[in-house]
A and B are shown apart, each in its own frame.
Chain A
Amino acid sequence: MFSEDTILLFYEITDVIIAGLSTGSVYALMAVGMTLVYGVTKAFNFAYGDFFNMGGYFAWILIVGLGLEFGGYPVILLIVMPLLFAVGYGLEKLLVAPLRKRKDWENKVMMMTLGLALFLTSLYMVVFGVRMKSLPPILEGTLEVGQLVFSYQDIMIFVMSISGILIFAWMLNNTRIGMAVRAVAQNPVGATIVGIPKERIFATTFAISTVMVGFGGILLSQKWFINPNSGGIIMVKAWVVTALGGMGSIRGGLYAAFIIGMLEAFVGWMFGMSYGIIALFVLLLATLVLRPQGLRGKGE
């Protein structure tokens, strides 16, 4: 009843949607940490993308550098994520906290992190070399449904990033620390009044976001490889997603991530890949002109 071409076209569109979804999930993972930090501490982190790579490099050091075979990725995550947390916490205390007392500190933080980004990127090059590094895939093989192909790797990435975000959201809503974080985001003064140590929450939030993005780094580096230069573009992607969703709004960030994922997939499919970025900024500009607060204003 359908000509073969129509069926193939149908499969193709499905492929595009799948591509959109998987990119979307990745963007979601990238964006969630950034929107959290902005929502809670109002600090904007330009070195975000380099923390993404940091996750990748830590994993690389363990797997390739030290040749750790035992336990595979679960163990790697178990080791790396606390490490990232420590790094994030330390950096916040050392670099961001001192600025917070100053006048128009938001801008000062932006510049400081811009410098940090420059520093980390070039440091990676010096330490790990200019060539990209690769990690072994989490899962091999593919799952074929008719014409459609799902690689277990992609499924894994999708599942893990989504569940990562869900766990994170659950913690935010149901743990004491999570509530404290939300409290600070919604009303810093109120938070101090009830005796929440704001500085510690700021640092913790920063650390959590580092863990989130580093987790993303590990997850994707085994598909995309670790490229010392990629920090900048990753940061911009995360930035666009967060802004589109409304900085500080996690749900908004999720929506935006999938919208952008789909947009890129379909624009790439219809007009060619090089139009992706232009379409992205057109969409962003349009959204911001209509809704200066992004899709979902104010953090919930």
Chain B
Amino acid sequence: MKKILRFSTIWLFLGVFLFSPTVMAADTIPVGVPIPMTGWAAGSGADYFKGIKMAIDEINESGGLLGKQLEIIRFDSKGFEPEVVMQAADYLCGQKNVASVHAGWAGWGQDVRAYGKYDAPFFADDGSQAAVDIFKEDPAKYYNIYQTTDVGVEQAKSMFRALMALPYEYPNKKVVIINTDDSWGLEVGDTLEKSFKANGWKVSKRETVPYGINEWGVILSQIRRIKPALIHVEIPSGQENITFIQQFLKKPSNAIISLGWGITPREVVDALGESADGIVGEMPSGLPGPKAPNEKAQAWVDKFVGLYEHQVPAGAWIAYTAVKAWAHAVTQVGDAYDFKAVNAYIKENGYEGELGRIKWDQDNVLRAQSGAPVVHYQVQGGELQPIFTDPPLTPYQGSQFLTPPWIK
């Protein structure tokens, strides 16, 4: 009996611990940030957080939102296991009653279900058609879900347009496509394959690889035999891209190399430095830099670089902008918790960002647009330099494409 008593006391403690309602300081507005702090996605998570943090600090420095300070509430969304995603939503929206949620990668569709149960605006960068399809099931229910980048399919099409527009004479029409075996990699890989075929190219090799491949000898030897004019690698992670490039450069073949999104993780240019010169890639919803198109943008870039001592990585700027867009809507509506109105305003008016107005489409997807373009980069002098913005596909002011040094 004593045991059982001891037992139940432990239990009651736990119970009390759990449902003790969390007291929210009345003078702050909580903002949820479910971003991986551990696990395989922690790297990209860090980049998104930099943008979000910057925005919220700005707002707080300028007197807060409706006179109240914003308070960041983080949640480690680990590896996006279903119950973790669900848990994040219920913790932030249900428990902490946050006024909005700002994420990066967030679960490729699971997140739509999890946050659709609530009304607080939720900004994610899933970049996947699957997430959009879920939204389409019930737009009324999921009206508070916003995608801050275009889907993989569209990004891939943009990549293709850029690659075709390069001021460079392809010696042949053979392409090799390498992509990861997750939804992003496949979505982009498939789209590229289609587009290339449709334009009379031969996809000489299509390799789908798991994460964590660091030995490229086999593929590279095949590439040497194929002698493609173009190699596209779509791996949203630093390590694989770097090892690929390093091993490719040991005996390069005359091919343009495009890393797609994979060029944006900072470690790629950090590790490769000048040896990466000539490689091209893209950043969705990006702010061209280091030389920005206008002072407003330039000021932003300078501030970011000042804060974090490196150029702007993928996601940082758009995550920043999403916070600002939400904050703007709130100030217009005048109540952070009038979710209906806030969402309506965001959907209706979008936001006037550094590059002009951005607007979400009927699927709440921030399609590639002049206000938040897909930026195509080339590594020049060991740093990313914008060469195109899309849409519409226009060469970036004062930029020029350099033929990669390894091409003879």
A interface, CB within 8 angstroms of B:
8-9, 11-12, 15-16, 18-19, 22-23, 122, 125, 129-132, 134, 142, 144, 147, 149, 151, 223-225, 227, 229-230, 233, 265, 268-269, 272-274, 276-277
Contact = CB atoms under 8 A, between A and B. Distances in A.
Contacts of A147: 224
Contacts of B267: 131-132, 134, 225
List the 10 closest A-B pairs by CB distance, nearest first: A15-B221, A19-B217, A130-B42, A149-B251, A224-B214, A273-B209, A134-B271, A8-B225, A269-B218, A151-B250
Contacts of A8: 224-225
B207 A18 contact: no
A134 B243 CA distance: 11
B46 interface: yes
Interface in B164-222: 181, 207-210, 212-215, 217-222
B219 A273 contact: yes
Given A16-B221, A273-B219, A223 B243 contact: yes
Given A125-B38, A125-B42, A225-B239, A274 B222 contact: no
Contacts of B46: 129-131
A131 B225 contact: no
A227 B239 contact: yes
Contact of B210 (A134, A230, A277): A277
10 contacts: A11-B221, A15-B221, A15-B224, A16-B218, A130-B37, A130-B42, A130-B45, A225-B271, A274-B208, A274-B209
Interface residues of B, number: 38
Question: Interface of chain B, helix or strand or loop or mixed?
Answer: helix
Nearest to B39: A229
A11 B220 CA distance: 12
B43 interface: yes
Contacts of B11: none
Contacts of B208: 272-274
B218 A15 contact: yes
Interface in B10-35: none
B266 interface: yes
Given A16-B217, A227-B239, A268-B218, 15 more contacts: A11-B224, A11-B225, A12-B224, A12-B225, A125-B38, A131-B266, A131-B267, A132-B239, A223-B214, A224-B243, A225-B242, A229-B39, A272-B207, A273-B213, A274-B181
Most buried by A among B208, B213, B239, B267: B239
B238 A273 contact: no
B40 interface: yes
B213 A122 contact: no
A144 B252 CA distance: 12
Interface in B55-74: none
Contacts of A265: 217-218
A131 B238 contact: yes
Contacts of B270: 134
A23 B215 contact: yes
B309 to A, nearest CB: 13
Contacts of A122: 38
Contacts of B213: 273
A223 B247 CA distance: 9
A23 B214 CA distance: 10
A270 to B, nearest CB: 10
A162 B340 CA distance: 67
Interface in B217-262: 217-222, 224-225, 238-239, 242-243, 246-247, 250-251
Contacts of A233: 212
A211 to B, nearest CB: 23
A59 to B, nearest CB: 15
Q: Among A16, A130, A274, which residue has the most Cβ atoms of chain B within 10 A?
A: A130
Contacts of B217: 15-16, 18-19, 22, 265
A19 B210 contact: no
A22 B271 contact: no
Contact of A142 (B38, B42, B242, B250): B250
A9 B214 contact: no
A129 B45 CA distance: 12
Nearest to B217: A19
Given A130-B46, A277-B210, A269 B215 contact: no
B211 to A, nearest CB: 9
Contacts of A132: 238-239, 267
B67 to A, nearest CB: 36
Contacts of A22: 215, 217
Nearest to A228: B42
Interface string B119-142: 000000000000000000000000
